[in-house]
A and B are shown apart, each in its own frame.
Chain A
Amino acid sequence: MTAATLSPADLTADRSPFAQFLGDVWVLTKRSLARIRREPETLSDVTIQPVMFVLMFAYVFGGAIGIPGGGSYHSYLIGGMLGMSLAQTAPGTAVAVVSDMETGLIDRFRSLPMSRAAVLTARTLADLLTQVIGAAVVALVGLAIGWRITGGAGGAIEAFALALLFGYAFTWAGVCLGMVLRSPEVAQQAGFIIFLPLTFISSAFVPTQGMPGWLQPVAEWNPMSSLAAACRQLFGNPNPASAVHAWPEQHPELAVICWAAAMLVVFAPLAVHLYRTKAH
């Protein structure tokens, strides 16, 4: 077939394991981004969807939602939208992981002399990049409907950083979901079932004060509420949660960091474990 063989100069075997890991992450991240370049519609959940949600909430529901303590609903909305648009990329992550399991691509990766940590790291990094796009889209639509940052540049940077940390933690949950589910369709549905209540039973779109008493603690301890409150506080937007006594509402930034850390500590090792052991 071919007499051509590989010379040592063709191999990266002499590179350190860490350099090989970075190389593999780069190759695989490029792979995920190439898909976006070929099929930009895969980005619709961080582009078209947030625009639709912002406009619908701002102009359809917004007029009917009062903000305790006063303030514009348009300004209130964006902190919540940011969390939603980032967390809801997790089902997409799950779908991508199941598809790779299903096609046998993960098996192929597992049979190659490549870094085993690289596959999942690259997956989550590529999704983090789509989340950056999602955050930018939400901010731009927000600016268009009258949302403003009044809390200073430092606060705004902190808010976006918290939001992306939160989104990145969710991505690992998505990886785990993808590892244990059987098909992309199931992953899509599971994502819907998990993330819809997570988003809506929170202060992302409505203040918790209007919810029935038994539901209020659920919403107040929902990580989505913490992120929304933290962003509102840092952006200088109306934040009715500051009047709620629950600990996460009083310390939203710390609560976001705790939630994100807890999710990363649980889901990242779990995802790696599943990747190592699970033979789909």
Chain B
Amino acid sequence: MSDTPAVEAEGLIKNYGKTRALNGLDLSVAQGTVYGLLGPNGAGKTTAVRVLATLLRADGGRARVLGHDVAAQPAAVRRTIGLTGQYAALDEYLTGRSNLIMIGQLSRLTGKAARRRADELLEQFDLTEAASRAVKTYSGGMRRRLDLAASLIGHPAVLFLDEPTTGLDPSARALMWDIVRKLVADGTTLLLTTQYLDEADQLASRIAVVNGGKVIAEGTPSDLKASLGGQRLLITLAEESDAATAAEALRPFTTRRVRGSDCGQVLDLPVTAVDGLATEVVRALDAAGVKVSDIAVRSASLDDVFLTLTGHKAEEEAPKDTDKKEVAA
């Protein structure tokens, strides 16, 4: 495997009218890895994927896929990529198999090779039984699987998955995750956008947190979590009025200063885990005269990372039309 990054972007800028969808986005994805673009709706994830997949021209910056410039050599880029968007891009009236054969032939396979690949993929994606039914009879999960199969038919080296599981039920999501893991085992490079932290955590070996059209943090999931001090101490107070006293008493334990006035009845404190931490914490609180009804230590989650970086939760739904705009623009 060569050292050429599968995907690299430098300072991508894209404006839609007065809205700046990409504001200097940088990215570097090594070959054979799964890279997660994590961010809330409207963060610029879809726009980034559309630029990288040659569907949109950036207004500034440059991007390359396996060394081919997306603006100058779009045809070369298209020969190496597969794209699965947020909506199943299929012909509703054709059967699942006909859809795959059509996309295969348009991906420069011969008719014979397209039919062979279609049958292989239908088998792998558990769609053989539905193969001769029109796609409009498919469930949401089946459509997504067929859509993913379609983007794989030409064996792309780099696959873009734009929110592959948004709107799927948990079992369909688990199935998609399985498929994605097998793909990676095959050596395909995957660039995955998601607004689900657990999805990025589960699948991606590196994550870029995107907000406001640029990358605001980048690293492995554990890097990102570690950057927040690793552990969280959750203390539920018996009396909310004790918050300030409690926060002051716990200052020696926390890695970052937390003001009692910012907390309610529950104090959520970043700490460094040591043996006997809980005991010492209880002693310190007792000495300060604070009554505690519950105490717990947990690992920092990507949620914490996200909350710290962007000031809001990842899965907080932005208004639905923002999402639409990102797709429609």
Contact = CB atoms under 8 A, between A and B. Distances in A.
Contacts, number: 107
A111 interface: yes
A122 B32 CA distance: 37
A104 B79 contact: no
Contacts of A103: 87-92
How many chain A residues sit at the interface, stated as a range, is 20 to 34
A110 B54 contact: yes
A6 B90 contact: no
A279 B55 contact: yes
A108 B113 contact: no
B94 A31 contact: yes
A144 interface: no
Contacts of A35: 91, 93-94
Contacts of B134: 38
A107 B78 CA distance: 12
Interface string A171-194: 000000000000000000000000
A6 B113 contact: yes
Give the residue among B55, B91, B103, B110 with the most A Cβ atoms within 10 A.
B91
Contact of B155 (A5, A12, A113, A280): A5
B78 A112 contact: yes
B287 interface: no
Interface string A15-59: 000001001100110010011001100000000000000000000
B93 A34 contact: yes
A39 to B, nearest CB: 6
A4 B53 CA distance: 25
B274 interface: no
A113 B55 contact: no
Interface of B: 50, 53-56, 75, 78-79, 81, 83, 85-94, 98, 102-103, 105-110, 112-113, 116-117, 120, 124, 134, 150-151, 154-155, 179, 182-183, 185-186, 328-329
Interface of A: 1-6, 9-13, 20, 23-24, 27-28, 31, 34-35, 38-39, 103-105, 107-114, 279-280
5 contacts: A1-B182, A6-B154, A105-B91, A111-B81, A112-B103
